[in-house]
């Protein structure tokens, strides 16, 4: 009986830890609103899609930028900024991009204002 309680406690603790990570550190969990800009990479394999975050009476504007790999058909969020309405996107090379002054390698880097 004691082993079962310990097991349940560990499951609950792990679930809480995952929830904290998912909702405070994982940019893939950020809800996207309306797409307002798309910019293709120089070789055309990637597209930077900029979305306005979901705003309401208690949450201000935000910008989320996802990179879409048109060959592998995969998407991932690499940029999340709060109190922001625009996305100045410029591809520096096929793998590097500048978004609102932040230079990112699309394969390695993620900018999230919550971690500054």
- Cβ(75)–Cβ(48) under 8 Å? no
Q: Which residues contact 81 (CB under 8 A, 6 or more apart)?
A: 62, 63, 100, 111, 113
Beta strand 102-105 with 32-40 is unpaired
Confidence of residue 113 (pLDDT cuts 50, 70, 90): confident
What is the tens place of the pLDDT at every residue in 23-52? Answer: 555 555 566 778 999 999 999 999 999 998
Q: Is 98 helix (H, G, I), strand (E, B) or coil?
A: strand
What is the tens place of the pLDDT at every residue in 74-103? Answer: 999 999 998 888 999 999 999 999 999 999
- Residue 4: per-residue pLDDT: 73
- Residue 87: per-residue pLDDT: 94
């Amino acid at each position: 009986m004691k082993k079962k309680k310990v097991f349940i406690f560990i499951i609950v603790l792990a679930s809480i830890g995952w929830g904290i990570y998912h909702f405070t550190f994982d940019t893939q969990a950020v809800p996207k609103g309306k797409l307002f800009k798309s910019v293709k990479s120089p070789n055309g394999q990637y597209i930077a899609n900029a979305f306005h975050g979901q705003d309401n009476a208690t949450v201000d504007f935000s910008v989320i930028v996802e990179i879409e790999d048109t060959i592998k058909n995969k998407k991932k969020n690499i940029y999340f900024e709060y109190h922001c309405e625009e996305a100045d996107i410029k591809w520096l090379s096929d793998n590097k991009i500048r978004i609102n002054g932040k230079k990112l390698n699309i394969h390695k880097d993620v900018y999230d204002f919550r971690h500054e």
